[in-house]
Structure 1
């Protein structure tokens, strides 16, 4: 394996009226999601779960990880049927405090994801940005989410997608110390080997991302990956100036 693209989705919604929590940026249309899966298959990609990196199973020649953040109800109702119809799997990173909230997965839904052969991981307890938390709150955020999801799924939870991709060495070291094995951020990148299983970059799939640009990022060729990385770096400036809370308030006003 020389490269492992990891796609980052959130909810799948045709529009604001759809079940779940619509986001003008991150809600991908279900038909677009289906076409993106087909495009991956046409290019010879095979979806894998993160456990496959360590369980001794031979990896396909062109592996890809499909992931979802937050725990929108569309993850089970829309994404899973489209994935299973194509013999594909995905990792679902659930914010444990969001469970049973309007538009989000119920406990039984999270258990059903696991029963359907999908991966389930943590997206924190409250979706707080981990780098904003003190040591005690940070540990509680990491541990309580992991324990609740483990109870729901009746299996260990060892993967974590950092909320907002915000975090550094402190957050990474503590996450590994409390039992997480796979850590995923939101910086765009190709995840080239050798891979040690401790930090992964992801490709954000947004509502208006074209299929051509997405496939360029998956294969990390052409202009699209460079633009994605430049955009990510450019957004770090207002985040640093405003802080995470200030940046999120600005984003909400702009949307």
Structure 2
């Protein structure tokens, strides 16, 4: 009898190449991601997330060691680097996109903030009643990290205004080529042409629990319709921005179901199981430089040992 499973390990990445917000040695991400995919192709059954959702919703079991691959935000290197490597290993993925990033109407606030800190000329910056010295890289990193945490408590509109204000105070000079690149609508179509799936990551990357019901409805419904209309494909799943349990609420869960999504992924570490809500699927976020050993060891242990059982079945 064929072995089957009721569990799915969903892995999530963001960028492959270094960015201001995610600095890394040149080429390290590309080499690391290639090694990760080689490992997954060898030890796991990599399935399309949409197919897994169909099976889990109908009660049909999954293949043993089932893993689904996802990417958030729509970094340009997802298309230029990740897609060719996925093709090399014959693996499908789902890419969660932000329509206002695709249109160039809005930048990724965390990248804009990191860019301003990296190229800022100010000796210090005041925020939230605290003055942060910026005399060396360690002080800059501490200030950026602490301010980023505070910004995540704001609504999307307030956060956008705050980042613009901080950038003005930091007074960055130069570094134009250092800005993180995001794909446009043609790039998103390239993902589909390569045989991958696309999902929603909200309209503006708003942290949904910080928004009122009307704004949440707009973020979830408009992103789904704009992606579907602009790409000519169904949008069946959503990835909650930031994705921790405090970053979405009961209103979010109700709206996601009412709008017509069939599933949603979080950033709560763990294995998605058929007996858990498909609107709160666990997911492990990794980086392309996570070593293959850590991928099956330290990172998967964040799933509180359940990921280990996926590999061993």
Post-superposition Cα deviations, 1:174-200, rounded to whole Å, max 9, x if no partner, equal 111111111111010111333553321
Give the structure 2 partner of residue 95 of structure 1.
Answer: 98
Give the structure 2 partner of residue 174 of structure 1.
Answer: 255
Give the structure 2 partner of residue 61 of structure 1.
Answer: 64
Contact 2:240 2:265 in 1 (8 A): yes
Q: What is the deviation of 1:96? A: 1.1
Q: Residue 155 in 1 paired to residue 233 in 2?
A: yes
Give the structure 2 partner of residue 71 of structure 1.
Answer: 74
Cα separation, 1, equivalents of 2:187 and 2:61:
30
Rate the CA distance shift 1:107–1:36 in 2: closer, same or farther, 3 A.
same
Q: What is the deviation of 1:46? A: 2.3
Give the structure 1 partner of residue 293 of structure 2.
Answer: 212
Give the structure 2 partner of residue 32 of structure 1.
Answer: 32
Give the structure 1 partner of residue 208 of structure 2.
Answer: 130
Aligned length: 218
Q: What is the deviation of 1:113? A: 1.1
Q: What is the correspondence of 1:168-247 to structure 2 with a 5 Å cutoff?
A: 168-194=249-275, 197-206=278-287, 209-216=290-297, 220=300, 223-226=301-304
Give the structure 2 partner of residue 252 of structure 1.
Answer: none
Rate the CA distance shift 1:200–1:58 in 2: closer, same or farther, 3 A.
closer
Give the structure 2 partner of residue 10 of structure 1.
Answer: 14
Unaligned stretches of 5+ residues in structure 1:
228-255
Contact 2:209 2:249 in 1 (8 A): yes
Contact 1:50 1:65 in 2 (8 A): no
Cα separation, 1, equivalents of 2:195 and 2:264:
20
Q: Residue 106 in 1 paired to residue 184 in 2?
A: yes
Cα separation, 2, equivalents of 1:50 and 1:216:
27
Q: What is the deviation of 1:85? A: 1.2
What is the SS of the residue equivalent to 1:12? coil
Cα separation, 1, equivalents of 2:49 and 2:252:
23
Q: TM-score, normalised by structure 2?
A: 0.63
Q: What is the deviation of 1:134? A: 0.8
